[in-house]
Structure 1
């Protein structure tokens, strides 16, 4: 009888030890800090003359799987793709950029209205495109925010889509430091620069 009790006690102790061992190899929970783009760094340049009687729709650009996530992408060495540990964007890169561009166009007050693709609203022209890069890339040991965007401007009247023009944009902004906060700040400056260049391009078109 004592042998059975001793065997059960030993078995129970082994189970407890196995449980403790299993707990010790589980990965620790990583605390994620979420970031949004900082406040605009470039003042809006208002154009002279009356606003165009057009509604502009800004759509989230198409992109690849890596940039379509909330990860803050970094290329530390050549084409090696990584991301900052413990840091995420509040939304995906295409949505962050779409919202920033739309906000910049609203500040210009050059259109009767500026809407988003998510609004399901009628529009006269649409700005969309392909987001090829929304990342940090090390150049000569220095982190640089790089935005590559192929923009398309379409006429969207009477249910007929017509391409007005397309243009490729490249914006690079050096990061002042190596912290995630410095990286996020540089993304904000780069996004504002891209918005300014997009606005100059769109307003130079012969719009319908």
Structure 2
């Protein structure tokens, strides 16, 4: 007949001591791989402009719709005759739709012709809404040089009736002064400055006058 042996008791103190020895031997080592450092970039904000009395008031700017890589924080680049890629180790300070919306909100708020400008993050009541779609916000290489490119679509909506007031496509580009990431970011800042001015001019032209 087989005799069953009683289970041996584990010395918890011994186990704890062995764990401490192992941890001490590892020192500052980590079991997780170290990630590469990431440089965060943002756009140069629009300058304050005193261009006369208020002409458009109560506008809410919504985050543009975007798909795939455009919805993240990647700095996208399209080499010549190659698929879209990213600038390794570099990111925008916010995801691209938020970056775009926040820049435009600040540009409108910095212009004396606009008042009561808000974004969809605050959900303040507004008479009009600017709805948009972002199709491209990337650096494209042309003849060996990077060019900042933005393509999208804008719609101005009456918030109460949900009627479409006006719509248009928007496409702008701005050559970078060099191939360095900092030069490309500067080109995007200049591009957004142009986009802000073009969008403001369009809004003032198409918004109904009371």
Instruction: Tell me the TM-score normalized by structure 1.
Output: 0.80
Counterpart CA distance in 2 for 1:165 and 1:54 is 16
Partner Cα separation in structure 1 for residue 143 and residue 190 of structure 2: 21
Q: Distance in 1 between matches of 2:135 and 2:61?
A: 17
Give, in angstroms, the shift of residue 78 of structure 1.
3.1
Partner of 2:7: none
Query: Equivalent residue for 1:55?
Result: 58
- Tell me, yes or no, if the aligned pair for 2:56 and 2:207 is still in contact at 8 Å: no
Q: Give distance in 1, aligned partners of 2:68 and 2:41.
A: 20
Deviation at 1:46, TM superposition (A): 4.3
Q: For the structure 1 residues 29 and 53, does the alpha-carbon distance in structure 2 shift closer, same or farther, using more than 3 Å as the test?
A: closer
Q: How many residues align?
A: 181
Match of 1:184 in 2: 185
Q: Which runs of 5+ in 2 are unaligned?
A: 1-28
Q: Displacement of 1:28 after TM fit? A: 5.4
The equivalent of 1:167 in structure 2 is 168
The 8 Å contact of residues 155 and 163 in structure 1, kept in 2 or not, is answered as yes
* Larger radius of gyration between Structure 1 and Structure 2: 2
Instruction: Give the 3-state SS of the residue equivalent to 2:108 in structure 1.
Output: helix
CA–CA distance in structure 1, aligned partners of residues 158 and 193 of structure 2: 25
Question: Which residue of structure 1 aligns with residue 35 of structure 2?
Answer: 29
Q: Root-mean-square deviation (CA), in Å?
A: 2.2
* CA offsets 1:119-148 (integer angstroms, 9 cap, x no match): 011000111211011000011111000011
